[in-house]
Amino acid sequence: MSRATNLAERTDEAAALGLPVLDFSRFDAGPAERAAFLEDLRAAARDYGFFYLVGHGIPAALEADVVAASRRFFALPQADKLAIEMVNSPHFRGYTRAGFELTRGRRDWREQFDVNTERAAREIGPDTPPWARLQGPNQWPAALPDLKPVVLAWQKAATDVAIRLLKAFAIALDQPENVFEPIYAGSPNQHIKLIRYPGRDATDDDQGVGAHKDSGFLTLLLQDVEPGLEVETDTGWVGAPPLKGSFIVNIGEILEMASNGYLRATVHRVVTPPAGHDRLSVAFFLGADHDATVPLLELPPARAAEAKGPARDPDNPLFYEVGRNYLKGRLRSHPDVARRHYADLVSTPDDAVASSGY
Q: What is the pLDDT of residue 4?
A: 43
Q: What is the pLDDT of residue 204?
A: 73
Instruction: Say yes or no to pLDDT of 15 above 60.
Output: no
**Domains and their CATH numbers in the chain:** 3-341 (2.60.120.330)
Instruction: Say yes or no to pLDDT of 158 above 80.
Output: yes
DSSP letter for each residue of 185-235: TTS-EEEEEEEEE--GGGSSSSEEEEEE---SSEEEEEE-S---EEEEETT
Instruction: Say yes or no to pLDDT of 259 above 60.
Output: yes
Average pLDDT, rounded, for the chain: 92
pTM here is: 0.93
Q: What is the pLDDT of residue 2?
A: 43
Q: What is the pLDDT of residue 135?
A: 97
Q: What is the pLDDT of residue 301?
A: 96
CB neighbour list of residue 76: distance below 8 Å, 6 or more residues apart:
141, 143, 144
pLDDT in tens, 99-147: 999 999 999 999 999 999 999 999 999 999 999 999 999 999 999 999 9
CA 43/CA 65 separation, integer angstroms: 33
Higher pLDDT residue, 318 or 350? 318
C-alpha dihedral over 205, 241, 101, 357, to 10 degrees?
Answer: -120
